[in-house]
Chain A
Amino acid sequence: MTDAAISPGAPAARPASSARDALLKKRHRSEKLFRAQGIAAIVIAMIFLVVLVGRIVVQGYSTFETHTLTVPVYLNPERIDTSALEGVNYDYIVAEAMMKKLGVQDDDLGTVSSKVQDLVSRDFGNQLLQMVKKDHSLIGKTVDVTGSVKADADLYYKGEIKRSTAEGDRKLDNQQLDWLDRLRKDGTVKAGFNTKFFTNSDSTEPEQAGVWGAVIGSAMMLVITALIAIPVGVMAAVYLEEFAPKNRWTDVIEVNINNLAAVPSIVYGLLGLALFINWLHVPRGSPLVGGLVLALMALPTVIIATRSALKAVPPSIREAALGVGASKAQTVFHHVLPLAMPGVMTGAILSLAHALGETAPLLMIGMVAFVPGAPESFTSSATVLPVQVFIWENASERAFHERTAAAIIVLLVFMIVMNAAAVILRRRFERRW
């Protein structure tokens, strides 16, 4: 380049000072605008976060409170056939006790008793059955039974069902609301912490439904996922990072793993359906098949995280080990891998947390079934927390909506615990070389 090219004959005319000030002002204005746009973007994102979490907490926290009532039930020997205890209509016996308490009489059509039955959970009947089964001598006596009120009554106590709504538009009529008010006033109904939500499994009745079965199902599934994805992923990463020659074949594996990490989760569901269920006949909807599918899904993430942890270990460590006569395998397994372990564990926990929240592939492999209990083995039918959320969200009864939000809170707590564990692990063992 010659001098002539960069020095034009005369300098460009400078703009007059007023025009320059205007230009500068404009430039500063656009600077401010740009900054404001950035702040606005962050504020919007934060608003989304607050609204999302806030809405769910607002919708869900009421589930943790519940209303129970205690009623003395007279176990009428005329109604209870000792030879067929299962066949007795305990719900009606409970309804009788309730009517006695409320001081109302049943009519011929049984409308009053069915209205009363709409207020108390079917759990009362079950409790009576268990009591009588255990001890026949109770028949003819009066026993105190405590149980939940029905979900609609619970919603009324919580103010979700309002008296101001037109009578036809709500589940409970005025008479039922009057009864509920009376029960609350005389202290029969008590508010308390909803332990049942944590100890019960799914149920068709919202007041009886809980997350225990789903929590156990999730845990069992994560055990399978962890047992497969972590060892296989770590070893694959060790091979690729430490042992593999750099050739076409390892390039293929590498590109492949990056692509696998971005395959939509639902495709893994299709794989699980075709491979594990149709071909290998693994039982549908079991923690085993769910864990296998999620393990395949988590595998690429574990590999990628482990590789970056291994990369962070400086070569001097390897050279020192090799220098004192360790073999390649000894170098890796005695020195490099232990040093990379915090990073490996962080990646593994994060990928497990991700697997915990996954829903779509599990729908494919039959985990949408109604499962009223905790799974007994890895091959029995199970449900997991996110799927439970999905099932409840589809339920028509309104009380299930608050339970859905509560189940989400439980799920989020698990995720936060796992993420926090990963962060703590990273902080605690972080090492700068």
Chain B
Amino acid sequence: MLTWLSLLFLALFSGAAFMAGRSRALKSSGGSTAKLHSLPNYYGLYAALWAGAPAALLLLLGAAFGGRVEDAMLQAQRPAVVQALTPDRQDVFFSDVSAVAVGQAPSEVAYEGPLKAAFDAKVVEAKRIDGIVSYSVLGLAGLLALAGFLLATPRINTEFRARNRVEGWIAGVLVACSVAAVLTTLGIVMSLIYESWRFFESVSPLSFLFGTEWAPQIAMRADQVASSGAFGAVPLFAGTFLVMMIAMLVAAPIGLYSAIYLSEYAGRGLRSTIKPLLEILAGVPTVVYGFFAALTVGPLFRAFFNGIGEQMAGGPLDGIAQYLMQVQNQMALVAGVVMGIMLIPFVSSLSDDIINSVPQSLRDGSYAMGATKSETVKKVVLPAALPGIMAAMLLAVSRAVGETMIVTMAAGLQAKLTANPLDTVTTVTVQIVTLLTGDQEFDSPKTLSAFGLGLTLFVVTLCLNIIALRIVQKYREQYD
């Protein structure tokens, strides 16, 4: 609230600086704009930027990092009673202190005796520190605004190149914005690596990558059976791969054939109705596909397989029949098929673009030789478009690997090493979700393993994307 108010105040101040800068420029030229180097508004903007921008930046930084600074200051001195607690309890203690200091309810831990005294003392200290930090940020911002204004306005005269200076500011902002994309990547990589590092301190990367048992449940007490949990991710990779394969078996032929039909055979009218309809399929949120998979496709497939099982029961394949009769709603096939449906428009629109970019002269040449349309497509257009189609398929694979909601809602949770599409499987993304949606303690390998999985997922999809981009780049200019 304080930040918002001060930002509003700052905006007013820099508005005033704008007016002051503008009028000073006009005054210095005796009211004629022709004598000025730049348009009057640029002088105003120059003053406003110096008055507003640095202070606003400081305020925003204060809002983002002030809490951390306060925590660090508060925790610099730990009373002996607090030091006697376990590190976990110390964290709880300090988070309670911060909560009480801002008037929120603390956790349910009760503090008694000397601890209570230390607690109350720390709450007072926290309030004091909060006051110091937030008011010093405010004061500093005020000083910056004033200093900026006082530095900028005296420089304004008829010779001053205000436009160039303002454009320098603009260029700076533009560069900063484009750096944001790089920072995002850096943030992803750093956070994944940092948390995975902590995970790999307790679980060796080799046993993570090649272990065949996934059981991240951590026992409550150290003496319980299986207290360490097992973090072999191979079953998850296998499950991901299985679902991805099924999805591609659905999406690749349907997507490719519809792209071929739409770009080579269909008339304008048909094309302009089918394409938007396919785009609807692309725009449907994945959670909707998940709902569809869980409540419509799952029961349907189950009924289908159970029915086949009942037909076959008692026959020569009784073993299979018995198995089929026990198939459940959640299986790799359901998730794969529904994910395939999701990917159809993705594959078809990418392939469509690529097929359209094959030059007409190649087709004409083929027709001139007497080839039929399908022969032209099969022998000329597709081979020419092959690299692009390969890239499109790789992008679809990367989508399928990273897709979360459908598998979360339809594939099940059991980590099994199986190639049977009727079995429940679990995937990397499902595990990330389940590991992180409960209580989160960032010290247990259970929670941290999600970041290990995330890192693997990131690396795999990144490789797929890079390969796809490379293929496209390498073959793109073949006909130009």
Contacts and interface: CB of A to CB of B under 8 A. Distances in A.
Interface of A: 27-28, 30-31, 33-35, 37-42, 44-46, 48-49, 51-53, 55-56, 59, 231-233, 235-236, 238-240, 243-244, 252-253, 255-260, 262-271, 273-275, 278-281, 296, 299-300, 303, 327-329, 333, 353-354, 356-360, 363-364, 368, 386-387, 389-390, 393, 401, 404-405, 408, 411-412, 415, 419
B185 A267 contact: no
Contact of B288 (A28, A260, A411): A411
A356 to B, nearest CB: 8
A360 B465 contact: no
10 contacts: A27-B375, A35-B373, A239-B177, A259-B469, A262-B461, A264-B457, A267-B188, A280-B64, A329-B167, A359-B405
Contact of B341 (A48, A328, A364, A412): A48
A427 B433 CA distance: 40
A238 B171 CA distance: 10
A35 B341 contact: no
User: 5 closest pairs, A vs B, by CB?
Assistant: A264-B402, A357-B285, A38-B261, A41-B257, A274-B191
Contacts of B408: 360
Contacts of B164: 327
A264 B429 contact: yes
Contacts of B395: 262
Nearest to A51: B296
Given A267-B402, A271-B188, A387-B287, 10 more contacts: A28-B372, A34-B374, A55-B292, A244-B178, A264-B401, A267-B458, A270-B191, A278-B442, A296-B184, A405-B291
B94 to A, nearest CB: 12
Interface string B430-473: 00110011000010000000110010011001100110010000
B260 A236 contact: no
B437 A259 contact: no
Interface class of chain A by DSSP: helix
A48 B257 contact: no
A45 B187 contact: no
Interface string B188-216: 10011011000000000000000000000
Contacts of B377: 34
Nearest to B191: A274
Interface stretch (B221-229, B275-283, B309-317): B275-283
Given A40-B257, A253-B182, A264-B403, A415 B274 contact: no
A302 to B, nearest CB: 10
A259 to B, nearest CB: 5
Contacts of B279: 419
Contacts of B175: 239
Interface residues of B, number: 93
Q: Which of B173, B295, B345, B405 has the most CB of A within 10 A?
A: B405
Given A38-B260, A55-B292, A236 B180 contact: yes
Given A238-B174, A266-B402, A360-B404, A256 B185 contact: yes
A255 to B, nearest CB: 7
Contacts of B256: 41
A280 B182 CA distance: 19
A39 B265 CA distance: 10
Nearest to B442: A278
A395 B402 CA distance: 25
A191 B135 CA distance: 59
B118 interface: no
A280 B68 contact: yes
B474 to A, nearest CB: 14
A258 B465 contact: yes
B201 to A, nearest CB: 16
Contacts of A408: 287-288, 291
A86 to B, nearest CB: 21
Interface in B369-416: 372-375, 377-378, 395, 398-399, 401-405, 408-409
A357 B281 CA distance: 13
A386 B285 contact: yes
B405 A30 contact: no
A41 B217 CA distance: 44
B181 interface: yes
A33 B375 CA distance: 12
B109 interface: no
A31 B377 CA distance: 10
Nearest to A54: B296
A49 B281 contact: yes
B287 A357 contact: yes
B294 interface: yes
Contact of B286 (A280, A359, A415): A359
A360 B466 contact: no
Contact of A401 (B288, B289, B295, B432): B295
Contacts of A42: 257-258, 261-262, 274
B62 to A, nearest CB: 12
A267 B174 contact: no
Contacts of A44: 254
Nearest to B261: A38
Nearest to A33: B374
Contacts of A232: 177, 180
A281 B175 CA distance: 28
B287 A359 contact: yes
A259 B180 contact: no
B254 A256 contact: no
Nearest to B398: A262
Contacts of B437: 363-364, 368
Q: Kindly name the residue among A28, A40, A329 whose own CB sees the greatest number of chain B CB atoms within 10 A.
A: A329
A40 B254 CA distance: 8
Given A253-B181, A253-B182, A37 B465 contact: no
Given A56-B291, A239-B178, A359-B405, A267 B286 contact: no
Contacts of A359: 285-287, 404-405
A281 to B, nearest CB: 5
A259 B462 contact: yes
B181 A260 contact: yes
